[in-house]
Amino acid sequence: VMRRNPFGMDICCRKGSRSPLQELYNPTQVSLSNTAILHQIRRDQVTDTCRANSVSSRKRRVLTPNDLKHLVVDEDHEMIYCYVPKVACTNWKRVMMVLTGRGKYSDPMKIPANEAHVSSNLKTLNQYSIPEINHRLKNYMKFLFVREPFERLVSAYRNKFTQKYNTSFHKRYGTKIVRRQRKNATQEALRKGDDVKFEEFVAYLIDPHTQREEPFNEHWQTVYSLCHPCHIHYDLIGKYETLEEDSNYILQLAGVGNYLKFPTYAKSTRTTDEMTTEFFQNISSEHQTQLYEVYKLDFLMFNYSVPSYLKLE
Whether residue 311 is contained in a domain is answered as no
Whether residue 75 sits in one domain with residue 27: yes
Q: Which domain, by its residues, includes 251?
A: 20-149+221-269
Query: Are 48 and 144 found together in one domain?
Result: yes
Residue 158's nearest CA partner among 72, 266, 271 is 271
Domain shared by 234 and 132, yes or no? yes
The Cα 91–Cα 168 span in angstroms is 23
Is residue 38 domain-shared with residue 186, that is, in the same domain? no
In order along its 313 residues, the chain shows pLDDT tens digits of 333 343 333 444 444 578 999 988 888 877 777 788 899 999 999 999 999 987 555 555 678 888 999 999 999 999 999 999 999 999 999 999 999 998 899 999 999 999 999 999 999 999 999 999 999 999 999 999 999 999 999 999 999 999 999 999 999 999 999 999 999 999 999 999 999 999 999 999 999 999 899 899 999 999 999 999 999 999 999 999 999 999 999 999 999 999 899 998 766 778 888 999 999 999 999 999 999 999 999 999 999 999 999 998 8
Same domain, 180 and 275: yes
CA–CA distance, 108 with 93 (Å, rounded to integer): 9
pLDDT at 58: 52
Cβ-in-10-Å burial (0-12, 13-18, 19+) of 267 comes to exposed
Residue 252 lies in a domain: yes
Please report the pLDDT score of residue 200 as a whole number: 98
The answer to the question of residue 313 being in a domain is no
H or E element in which residue 72 lies: strand 71-74
174 & 284 share domain: yes
Give one word for 103, left, alpha or beta, with left for phi > 0 and alpha for psi -120 to 50: left
Do 113 and 253 fall within a single domain? yes
Q: Find all residues with CB under 8 Å of 252, minimum gap 6, and list them.
A: 32
The pLDDT, as a whole number, for residue 1 is 32
Domains in the chain: how many in total?
2
